[in-house]
Amino acid sequence: MQNYSHTIPTKIYFGKGQISRLAEALRPFGAKVLLTYGGGSIKKTGLYDTVMDILSDEGFTVFECGGIEPNPRIESVERGVKLCRENGIEVILAVGGGSTIDCSKAIAAGVYYEGDLWEMASTRHGVLKALPLVDILTLSATGSEYDGGGVISNMKINQKLGNSYTFPAVSICDPTYTFTVSKYQTAAGTADIMSHIFEEYFSRTPDSDLADGICETVLKSAIKNLPIALAEPDNYSARANLMSISSIACSGIPSYGKQSSGWPCHAMEHELSAFYDITHGVGLAILTPRWMRHILKKDPSCEWRFVRFAENVWGMEGEDEHALANAAIDRLEEFFRESGIPMTLSELGIGEEHFAEMASHANRGGYLKNSFVALTDEDIVEIYRACL
Ligand code: NZQ
Ligand code: ZN
């Protein structure tokens, strides 16, 4: 087991009715609020009105930055920063999914950033000085409500880059707000949660019992609760479980004591989204089983991890370890397909024309040569091809 240190400064209010905490969460930071949100789902669900009523009753002054895109763009960050600077905003309130929260983190940091905001998004740095951020989560997926990262896209140059910005001060996580999430986004979000776990679980460290146990519990909860949430969108227990595993999956906790895997599927997926603007979780669901088959073939010394995945997550049994490992991967692919996720890139209209460029960018600086099983540019192209 490796050394680790970890801090999460975010306070979570989890459960039904926790919006009652909103005013007290914002007040210590000031009265001038920038309300950020996406393409309008919060207006359809009525959450926008609820939030505005609370803010007005409690004497806050509200400025708005709506229309934040899925795969949020640098232009939205620029717009939000301008609004903050011009109006002396004291605190940002993000209401939405990972895209809105990520964009808000970049806005919060961008307010203090001297220089070009794409330079901020594309330069490696730690957590930055930022305006305080409070969020109300409406989609269980990214874990942005409980981490310091954000992912911003620049579609002009086909780049989508994750970076550190700031942690939310407070996240209000009420599972009832996810009752309206479409089947497609529910399945994609769960695939994202599972992928955050796979990126930690498939590590060379064999003896981090706590982290591996958390990983397996999260995966089993996703496998149990996604079909329920798809069949009964307002099943509180299913939505609540998906929301709590969303927060922990990307928090860093499931990697305690483990050697970093390099997050290969995320590196490959961000290229797909950068070129084709696809839903992050869908890209991950398509890539993951193909990446698994590729590395198992390339380096059979990693088979023990897949056997553990088969036994502890899927409850499979058998003497033939190779067969078990492959059966676990097949079952995962089937699970995503049964959840309604299109499981080939061709179904999304993606061909192989940019694969070489995407592979070289995903692997810039030989980044993925240190991943769980080292990947070359050629490996990545092969994995993309297997997804067609
Ligand atoms: O934009 P609106 O109208 O709100 O609609 C959204 C959007 O169309 C809709 N939606 C959200 N909540 C809803 C709802 N529809 C009905 N009812 C609700 N309650 O769902 C669509 C997708 O929303 P989005 O925020 O884009 O989804 P998600 O939470 O999956 O976020 C994806 C983004 O997060 C990044 C991804 O790369 C992607 O850009 N990630 C962020 C991470 C992080 N901060 O740590 C880690 C992840 O690995 C990921 O990369
Ligand atoms: Zn993800």
Which ligand does the CA of 198 lie closest to?
Answer: 2
Which ligand does the CA of 280 lie closest to?
Answer: 1
| Ligand 1 atom showing the smallest separation from residue 40 Cα | 3
pLDDT for res 336: 98
Rounded CA-CA distance 9/248 in Å is: 14
Rounded CA-CA distance 100/185 in Å is: 15
- Locate tokens 């309008």: which residue? 40
pLDDT for res 366: 85
CATH architecture of the domain 182-386 equals Up-down Bundle (1.20)
- Sorted by sequence, the CB contacts under 8 Å of residue 229 that are 6+ apart come out as 186, 190, 235, 238, 239, 242
Q: Read off the pLDDT of residues 80-131 as tens digits, 9 standing for 90 and up.
A: 999 999 999 999 999 999 999 999 999 999 999 999 999 999 999 899 999 9
The secondary element (H helix, E strand) that includes residue 288 is helix 280-298
pLDDT for res 367: 85
The secondary element (H helix, E strand) that includes residue 317 is none
pLDDT of 15 over the 90 cut: yes
Q: Which residue's alpha carbon is nearest to atom 47 within ligand 1?
A: 142
Nearest CA among 253, 250, 256 for reference residue 207: 256
pLDDT tier for residue 143 given thresholds of 50, 70 and 90: very high
Q: What is the largest CA-CA distance in the chain?
A: 67
For ligand 2, an ion, list residues with CB under 5 A: 192
Distance from residue 60's CA to the centre of ligand 2 (Å): 34
Tell which one of 167, 185, 246, 248 to mutate to probe ligand 1, the residue whose CB is within 8 A of the most ligand atoms.
185
Tell which one of 74, 95, 99, 251 to mutate to probe ligand 1, the residue whose CB is within 8 A of the most ligand atoms.
99
> What's the token pair of residue 155?
């579609």
Rounded CA-CA distance 133/262 in Å is: 28
Rounded CA-CA distance 304/322 in Å is: 9
pLDDT for res 133: 98
Mean pLDDT, the chain, rounded, equals 97
The secondary element (H helix, E strand) that includes residue 121 is helix 117-122
Q: Read off the pLDDT of residues 161-216 as tens digits, 9 standing for 90 and up.
A: 999 999 999 999 999 999 999 999 999 999 999 999 999 999 999 999 999 999 99
Q: Domain coordinates of the chain in residue numbers?
A: 11-177, 182-386
pLDDT for res 261: 87
Question: Residues with Cβ within 6 A of ligand 1?
Answer: 38-42, 45, 70-71, 96-100, 102, 138-139, 141-144, 147, 149-151, 177-178, 180-181, 185, 189, 192, 250, 266, 280-281
Q: Read off the pLDDT of residues 145-175 as tens digits, 9 standing for 90 and up.
A: 999 999 999 999 999 999 999 999 999 999 9
pLDDT tier for residue 370 given thresholds of 50, 70 and 90: confident
Distance from residue 30's CA to the centre of ligand 2 (Å): 32
Distance from residue 139's CA to the centre of ligand 1 (Å): 6
Q: What CATH number does the domain located at 11-177 have?
A: 3.40.50.1970
| Ligand 1 atom showing the smallest separation from residue 42 Cα | 4
- Lowest mean pLDDT across 88-92, 223-227, 258-262: 258-262
Nearest CA among 299, 280, 283 for reference residue 371: 299
